[in-house]
Amino acid sequence: MRYRGYQRFSETYILIIIAVCLVLFIASEVRDELVGILGLMPATWTSEPWTILTSIFMHSGILHILFNMLALYFLGRYLCTFIGDRWFLIIYFIGGIVGSFFFILLGPQNATVVGASGAIFAIGGALAITVPQMKVIMFPIPVPMPLWVAIIGGFIIISFLPGVAWEAHLGGLLTGLATGYYLRRKGPRRIII
């Protein structure tokens, strides 16, 4: 499959999101209570509704933010080249919010969740539908594979790790898949197969 040209895009929005996540990560390392203020806890979300959005900018641990920001940068750049900045932002934020609601509905009520993974899985899901056969290498497997295999396989593998909010990942992934399908059928660029 190929596209009739690429969308103009700027890395500015991706870099702004990364910068906000990094600043909040550093701030939360200095002040632990920020995780409680900005993280999402299903039992308290109705009295703290902002956490549905703020939790997607918070991270717990250097590896958490490192892997999320790398995935955001590379997947986000690819997605922007196919659909543009506006759709990237829509998918990122709606995927993150839907991921938060999935965690509220399916996750432990007294756990606090943080991380951009739901939003990033939305980006990955949209890419998996938009350009499913694009070859990628998924760390630590040094073999090129279709993008859709890497995204779905990554979701399955990560879901079995302890302490992972698979519920938020699932919500984001389903949002991305649905949005990618919509864009593929009705979006700004027609796909030639």
**pLDDT tens, N- to C-terminus, the chain (193 residues):** 344 445 556 789 999 999 999 999 999 999 989 999 999 999 999 999 999 999 999 999 999 999 999 999 999 999 998 888 999 999 999 999 999 999 999 999 999 999 999 999 999 999 999 988 888 887 777 889 999 999 998 899 888 888 899 999 999 999 999 999 998 887 555 443 3
Strand partners, 40: 113
Helix/strand/coil for 2: strand
Which pLDDT value is given to residue 142? 84
Tell me whether strands 135-136 and 2-3 are parallel, antiparallel or unpaired: unpaired
pTM: 0.89
Give the chain's count of helices (H) and strands (E).
7, 4
Domains and CATH numbers, the chain: 2-192 (1.20.1540.10)
How far apart, in whole angstroms, are the C-alpha atoms of residue 102 and residue 119? Answer: 12
Matching residue, tokens 């399916």: 106
Which pLDDT value is given to residue 7? 54
Which pLDDT value is given to residue 6? 52
Is-contact 25 58, C-beta < 8 A? yes
Question: Who contacts 160 (Cβ-Cβ below 8 Å, separation ≥6)?
Answer: none
Which pLDDT value is given to residue 159? 83
How far apart, in whole angstroms, are the C-alpha atoms of residue 37 and residue 55? Answer: 9
Which pLDDT value is given to residue 108? 95
